[in-house]
Amino acid sequence: MPGQGVAPTLLYRLYSVVTGALGPLAWRSVHRKLDAAGVAPERQRERLGRATLPRPEGRLIWFHAASVGESLSVLTLITRLGAVLPKAEFLITSGTPTSAELVAKRLPPRTQHQFVPLDTGAAVTRFYDHWRPQAGIFVESELWPRMLVEAHQRGIKLALLNARLSQKSVQGWQRFPGTARFILDCFTLFLTQNRQTADNLIAMGADPGRVRPGSNLKATSAPLPVDEATRDTLTKAIGDRPVWVASSTHKGEEEQVLQAHKRLLITHPDLLLLLVPRHPERGDEVQRLVKDAGLSCARRSAQEQITGQTQVYMADTLGETGTWYALCKLVFLGGSLLEIGGHNPFEPAQAGAAVVTGPGYFNFAETYAQMKQDGGAREVQDADSLADAVADWLDNAEHFNNARQAASAYVATQQNALEGVIDGLCQELALNDPAAVN
């Protein structure tokens, strides 16, 4: 059984005291951010562990995902798990307003969303007293010590799913091996994205018998939704013009993307760029960058139309990325020209797109390594090499089609892993056991 013989460390006790003392400050900071995002006051108090929904009867399985990507990656899993466990109810927690908004639009049957409580004693206790989950499944790498320890003390079985850890995080935990082992011992099961993460968890103190290397859960997610009316309208407006997408770009990347686009316009004067900032609230800032680059821009949030003179169409909206991938199959994926970690390449690949990435994709290192080897993705270093990669796929249909096929084939091989994930969770967390209902 997890946790036997592993006592709380001095560092954990200190963490509990400090987080308790700083709880009011943390709440004020969180409150300001949620208030600025327009989150209703009663929902803000979910961060204090105050539920805004009743607990459903019977078995409740809880998933915690830090933000947008992690939250969306578990929706397909919950849908499939719900089919295997037809009497189970599900709870998703996350910490950001964006994740709450997107998840609310795509909730599977018998699933509710709440904001995750702050990692303070009072908030965590309120949360568990109300929800009483049978099992807790943490997605990727967000580990809150107080939440994990109290769950274990209450007999809630925990799994870390799709686990990934940066080398910096691993080194940080290894400085405190006793505390790392104490926290990791709360988990019954670790399902990692790759062998390297599995080895890192074991090196940090995880029980090797509970660690299983696997595949990336994001490969098994349902394709992003497509607004067919929007796609058809924009397809008509674009006509036979060539087009490419720069998706999920961050501050400091748009300048390089626009520089690449200006170079491409020399040889492809009617080329259109669909520019999709990762954070739509940066729309005004990005529009100024487009103007400073001497390019014409139509902005989706302002309902501006694409004309023959439009060189950049800025899609500064939320939840429409699937439509852009359906519209164009040549995708540069941002968060990668800088050391940001990259974004999910499975989403464009599921839509049949070939992918270009910068070098800073460490969060998806193993995925991109295989996709590049198979020919479904290309790595670029700067604006010039980005322009070269896009130009090659624009000018060489055979290269481009081969890349698209390779990307789609890679995703298909990864999607077969979902049944294994479900079997592992059901077995190790006793999800099929009626006697385990809290």
Q: Which residues are catalytic?
A: 70
Q: Are 158 and 137 in contact (CB under 8 A)?
A: yes
Work out the angle at residue 397's Cα, subtended by the Cα atoms of residues 377 and 337, and round it to the nearest 5 degrees: 30
Rounded CA separation 301/23 (Å):
37
Rounded CA separation 163/147 (Å):
17
Please give the structure tokens belonging to residue 255. Answer: 């300048």
Strands 189-192 and 157-163: parallel
- Angle, helices 10-36 vs 121-131, to 10°: value is 80
Buried b (16+ CB within 10 A) or exposed e, 115-128: bbbbbbbebbebbb
